[in-house]
Amino acid sequence: MTSLAPEPRTRAAARARERPIETTYRPRAALDLALTVGVQQRGGKDPAFARSPGVLWRASRTPEGVATLALRQRPDGTVDAAAWGPGAQWALEQMPRLCGADDDPSGFDPSRHPLIARLAHENPGLRLGRTDLVFDVLASSIIEQKITGLQAFAAWRRLVTWHGTPAPGRTPRPMFAPPTVEGWRAIPSWDWHRAGLEPPQSRTIVRAAARGASLERAVRDATDGEQVDRVLMSQPGIGAWTSSETRMRALGDPDAVSVGDFHLAHEVGFALAGARTDDDGMLRLLAPWAGQRQRVIRLLEASGISEPRRAPRLHPEDHRDR
């Protein structure tokens, strides 16, 4: 019987391909790695993000190819990074921005509200990081439109696993980088349905993918959040909420506010004023921090402060058998 074991030279080549390239990042300011990078995770079973003891793992599709990035923070705040795959060098060079190196909190005055002052003091390592991978974040944000988080995260998990690329390196569990822009466009209608998405969401992603390269270029060339909004919201099916989510995670925009979110206004109102409010009320409450409103929101999210639930949890509707 022919052996399935590779020849020694093949094994050596395979080991060479599995060897990571490594670097060390020494942040200039306090950094809470998990709090800063963890916002990129889309649910506990995200195929593109994993956590093992002391290590954050991220699979991505960089401009140079698929990469797996592993990050471990030392007690002194230094971050050890290792990356595998054809996009490994890009991932390592981009990694400081993922960890908030470009984040500029100047002008942020937490003393305008006692709760924000306390939370800023308790979370000095919260940074606003960015992936610089616009379409991946845009696709996940479109998936999260108008459905529960559980439904959205399950759909993301299925689509990335079915149509993404296996992550290189020795990951703690099987991981996948998201599809290419053309890969998103080529997903057949029955897989969108099997994943649990309604046609409006799948059509929005497919239409955006048809303009993927020019859309990403226009977003990169934009000089502020308003220009990014104009670019993204010019696409059918993309509104203020989706644009804000993309600005926040892909670009690290410190002022992005996800107007139209099912829970956010209620939570901000409860935390800052003691009562739920609507989007207009939320914007009024956040107005003292204009230019840094996303930072306030992230501090509130990190606090765990939440409005007491008033009704039974919404039961997700499963339309896949229709």
Residue 312 CB neighbours (<10 A) = 6
Does the domain made of 134-303 have the CATH classification 1.20.1260.10? no
Per the model's pLDDT, the better-predicted residue between 6 and 114 turns out to be 114
Q: Is the pLDDT of residue 308 over 80?
A: no
Q: Structurally, what CATH architecture does the domain formed by 20-110 represent?
A: 2-Layer Sandwich (3.30)
Q: Is the pLDDT of residue 313 over 80?
A: no
pLDDT by residue (tens digit) across 174-203? 999 999 999 999 999 999 999 999 999 999
Which amino acid is it at 93? E
Across the chain, the runs of DSSP E, i.e. the strands, are 21-25, 49-52, 55-62, 65-73, 79-84, 165-166, 176-177
27 neighbors 99 (Cβ within 8 angstroms)? yes
Which whole number is the average pLDDT over 271-275?
95
CA–CA gap between residue 54 and residue 7 (Å, rounded): 35
Q: Is the pLDDT of residue 14 over 80?
A: no
CA–CA gap between residue 259 and residue 148 (Å, rounded): 16
Query: Where residue 317 falls among pLDDT bands split at 50, 70, 90?
Result: low
pLDDT by residue (tens digit) across 27-59? 999 999 999 999 999 999 999 999 999 999 999
The domain locations on the chain are: 20-110, 134-303
Q: Is the pLDDT of residue 6 over 50?
A: no
Please tell me whether residue 83 adopts helix, strand or coil conformation. strand
Contacts (Cβ under 8 Å, ≥6 apart) of 7: none
pTM to 2 decimals? 0.89
Q: Specify the pLDDT at position 265.
A: 95
The pair of structure tokens assigned to 118 is 């306390």
Q: In b/e form, how buried is each residue of 6-23, taking b as 16+ CB within 10 angstroms?
A: eeeeeeeeeeeeeebeee
Contacts (Cβ under 8 Å, ≥6 apart) of 10: none
What's the mean per-residue pLDDT of the chain?
91
Query: Where residue 165 falls among pLDDT bands split at 50, 70, 90?
Result: very high
